[in-house]
Amino acid sequence: MHPVEMLLYWARISPERPALIQSNMVISYQALAQAVVACSERIRACGFSPGEPVGVAVSDPAKLLVVCLALLRSGVSCAPVAQASVPTLPSSGINCLIHSPGSPVLTEGKNIAFDDSWLQADDLPASSMNGRLPPANVIFFTSGTTGVPKKVVLPTVALVARMGLNNLTGQTRFKKVLVAPGVTSNFGFVRICILLESGKTIVFAADVSYPLRLIETFQIDAIVASPQQALALVEMIEASPGHRLDSVKEISIGGGALSPDLARRVQALLCRSIVTEYGATEAGLVALAPYETVRNVPGAVGIVVPGMHIEIVDDNNQPVPIGEEGYIRGRSQFITAIYQANNDNGAADGTEAWWFPGDIGRLTEHGFLCISGRTDDIINCGGVKVSAVVLDELIKSFPGVRDGGVCSVRGDADIDVVWIGVTSDTDIDLVALRQFVEQRQNFQLRIGSVVRIEKVPRGDLGKIRRHELKALLVGARSRNHAEASSMPADRS
């Protein structure tokens, strides 16, 4: 069922139930539904064309959600985006923008300033529940690890289909769920819609720097987070022990690889029950499992969910035997709907609707999907290939390293070498770190520079932006050389 229809339903039968919690307010289902209905009337007055997508860059996450739901209720496609992404919208065919006052706007196109008067309604009209809501799309932009964010259109038919599988995550068992991924991400938006459909209370963590107080105050019993967001939580707990967090019964971690070290820290400091999730904007939820089920299976991210068909194929797209590594591809009704929405000449019967995530992995005889690397995260050093993700985790296991990542930089004889960027709170031995990495590989690996940096550049879900890391490391190395050459010679 459409998320707005379910929102209006819960507003009728449980009007005072909290729908959204932020650091500065608690919003009931009735208040949220009234705000969506009022915002819908304002949107209709704007005269948007149903076929014209509208970008939404509203700073407050609850108000951003309201505007997007109101656009969908009105049959207008929407693109929830961060304010920094506004300049890129026209290149994706989005020339209308609803924005917060004083925030960046389109240099060319239609800009409409949002304010709180859009949310004011006295009651839900009796006609709110009548008739089917018109179809519309939600547009997301992938993390852009290659430097070019990819536009993905999610039609409401796919969103509704994904919501129909809400019991797969198991989070409908819980009453209050802290959702760390933001509304502008597919991960966050879809999970919020699923929880609203089930009448749950969603706690936004994106608008606060210290979510531990939210967990403690509102007795949150489940959390959704990326690995980087989970790491931030455990680092807050380690830096400020003593919070009562025993209400948390489970944390679901998706959007990236969960390392054994992070899992250990989460279980020791937050809760024992961890669910690992694997999916993508173009595919929805692909696999999940309790961490305890997969912890001893190298690279395992979960068990493939019902309705999803996963194959492991070779360079010629031919399936390989169970247990052998290859390229992952998948098919499902969700993928077909996404494919057709993003390709004008997409196959009507879905015969061409294969999803290729760019991951390398295998399927075990017990049905576990295991990931060993990404095709775009594979570093080729003169024929020696290594997964950058594996090296990332190895670097972070070195004593004193807070965060780290690798990228490839063209070296002598046009052969790529591995460069390492690290952040640390202590003065670590960079030479020892280099030796640590080289000695733990069972192949000859060329390590170039090891550079200390302030922060590893990551996307919203914690994935390293390797193009930014490369620019950062090369720039830092050049500055260090320039400073060294400008120092006066030692004449002693």
The answer to whether residue 372 is domain-embedded is: no
Enter the tokens of residue 249. Answer: 């019964």
**Same-domain pairing of 352 and 396:** no
**Same-domain pairing of 388 and 354:** no
Say whether 19 sits in a helix, a strand or coil. Answer: strand
- Tell me 319's DSSP state: B
Name residue 231's amino acid.
L
Give kind and range of the element (H or E) at residue 380: strand 378-381
DSSP string, 400-420: TEEEEEEEEEE-GGG-EEEEE
The answer to whether residue 376 is domain-embedded is: no
Distance (Å, whole) CA 448 – CA 436? 14
Give kind and range of the element (H or E) at residue 112: strand 110-113
Structural domain boundaries, residue 425: 382-483
Say whether 103 sits in a helix, a strand or coil. Answer: coil
DSSP string, 63-74: HHHHHHHHHHHT
Write down the residue that tokens 């949310």 correspond to: 119
Name residue 237's amino acid.
I
Distance (Å, whole) CA 348 – CA 78? 24
Span 144-164, average pLDDT: 74
Contact 299, 371 (CB under 8 A): yes
Cross-strand bridge partners of residue 253: 225, 276
DSSP string, 121-157: -SS--GGGGSSPPPP-EEEEE---TTSSPPEEEEEHH
Span 186-199, average pLDDT: 91
- Tell me 247's DSSP state: T
The answer to whether residue 490 is domain-embedded is: no
Distance (Å, whole) CA 209 – CA 239? 14
Sequence-ordered list of residues with C-beta below 8 angstroms from that of 303, at least 6 positions apart, any chain: 287, 288, 289, 293, 367, 368, 369
Specify the CATH number for the domain of residue 89.
Answer: 3.40.50.12780
What is the greatest pairwise CA distance in the chain? Answer: 90
**Same-domain pairing of 293 and 419:** no
**Same-domain pairing of 352 and 426:** no
**Same-domain pairing of 454 and 322:** no
Name residue 65's amino acid.
L
Enter the tokens of residue 66. Answer: 């309201």
Say whether 96 sits in a helix, a strand or coil. Answer: strand
The candidate with the shortest Cα–Cα distance to 236, out of 269, 202, 276, 273, is 269
Specify the CATH number for the domain of residue 386.
Answer: 3.30.300.30
Enter the tokens of residue 367. Answer: 């049905």
Overall residue count recorded for the chain in this entry: 492
Distance (Å, whole) CA 251 – CA 238? 18
pLDDT in tens, 19-30: 999 888 899 999
> What pLDDT does 129 receive?
43
The answer to whether residue 373 is domain-embedded is: no
Name residue 157's amino acid.
V
> What pLDDT does 421 receive?
95
The answer to whether residue 112 is domain-embedded is: yes
Total domains in the fold of the chain = 2
Q: Using N-to-C axis directions, what is the helix angle for 3-13 and 186-197, rounded to 10°?
A: 40
pLDDT at 126 over 70: no
pLDDT in tens, 380-437: 776 666 778 888 988 999 999 999 999 988 775 566 889 999 999 889 999 999 988 8
pLDDT at 165 over 80: no
Listed residues 329, 363, 397: the one ending a domain: 363
Contact 275, 291 (CB under 8 A): yes
| Strand spans (E) along 176-294 | 176-179, 201-204, 222-225, 250-253, 274-280, 284-290
**Same-domain pairing of 311 and 405:** no
**Same-domain pairing of 281 and 175:** yes
Listed residues 363, 394, 425: the one ending a domain: 363
Q: What percent of the chain has pLDDT over 90?
A: 48
**Same-domain pairing of 37 and 90:** yes
**Same-domain pairing of 309 and 403:** no
pLDDT at 259 over 50: yes
**Same-domain pairing of 217 and 274:** yes
Distance (Å, whole) CA 304 – CA 426? 42
| Strand spans (E) along 29-90 | 54-57, 78-80
Contact 179, 230 (CB under 8 A): no
**Same-domain pairing of 414 and 354:** no
The answer to whether residue 431 is domain-embedded is: yes
pLDDT in tens, 212-255: 989 999 999 999 998 878 888 998 999 888 889 999 999 999 98
pLDDT in tens, 29-38: 999 999 999 9
Say whether 304 sits in a helix, a strand or coil. Answer: strand
**Same-domain pairing of 147 and 246:** yes
468: left (phi over 0), alpha (psi -120 to 50) or beta: alpha
The answer to whether residue 406 is domain-embedded is: yes
Enter the tokens of residue 239. Answer: 């830096």
Write down the residue that tokens 């049959």 correspond to: 75
The answer to whether residue 61 is domain-embedded is: yes
pLDDT in tens, 47-84: 888 789 999 999 999 999 999 999 999 999 999 998 88
Q: Which residues of 372-391 are buried (b: 16+ CB within 10 A; e: fewer)?
A: ebbeebbbebeeeebbbbbb
> What pLDDT does 146 receive?
46
Listed residues 332, 363, 394: the one ending a domain: 363
Span 330-354, average pLDDT: 77
Distance (Å, whole) CA 383 – CA 465? 24
pLDDT at 364 over 80: yes
What is the C-alpha radius of gyration for the chain, rounded to an integer number of angstroms? 24
Contact 269, 292 (CB under 8 A): no
For residue 351, CA distances in Å to 102, 282, 355 come to 47, 16, 11
pTM beyond 0.95: no
**Structure confidence at residue 491 as a pLDDT band (50, 70, 90):** very low
